[in-house]
Amino acid sequence: MGKTIDEVIKEYKRVANTKREIYNNSSLKEKNKHLLRIAGEQEQLAEWLEELKQLRIEKEKKCEECTYYITVQEAFVRGYKDSIDDFVNACEQDIMCQRFGMRILDIKRVAERLKEQLGK
């Protein structure tokens, strides 16, 4: 398994500090300027990763506070109940339901029983 974001941040900071120490202790500073560039890049990467980590934390907090989050089961139940209601409404509009001996009051009773059974 790969490293955690904290481990990578720590590693980038360690490399940056090491490169900066080597440069500072070097007698050939002009020749070793690339060490300062590398240290700066490593520090920048660590900074960006820290920002990413913070954004992830904020996103997770927001998701935990979401009021619109529902489970798959809740979505199924809502859809099922809505379908039953749609069927009842269609039967109220359709004279054919009544023509085949289906009274709207009976249909509504059956629909309510079906919705009640979902809660059990």
Question: 64 or 8, which is more confident?
Answer: 8
**Mean pLDDT of all residues in 50-57:** 90
Q: Judge whether 38 and 22 are in contact, CB under 8 Å.
A: no
Query: Could you tell me the residue ranges of all domains in the chain?
Result: 5-65, 72-118
pLDDT score at 60: 78
pLDDT digits (tens, 9 = 90+) for 14-35: 999 999 998 888 888 888 888 8
pLDDT score at 42: 92
Q: Judge whether 36 and 21 are in contact, CB under 8 Å.
A: no
Our CA dihedral for 43, 45, 46, 50, rounded to 10 degrees, sits at: 140
Residue 45 to residues 13, 24, 37, 66, Cα–Cα distance (Å): 9, 21, 12, 31
pLDDT digits (tens, 9 = 90+) for 63-76: 666 656 667 777 77
Q: Judge whether 46 and 12 are in contact, CB under 8 Å.
A: yes
On the question of pLDDT at 120 being above 60, the answer is no
Other CB atoms closer than 10 Å to residue 104's CB: what's the count? 14
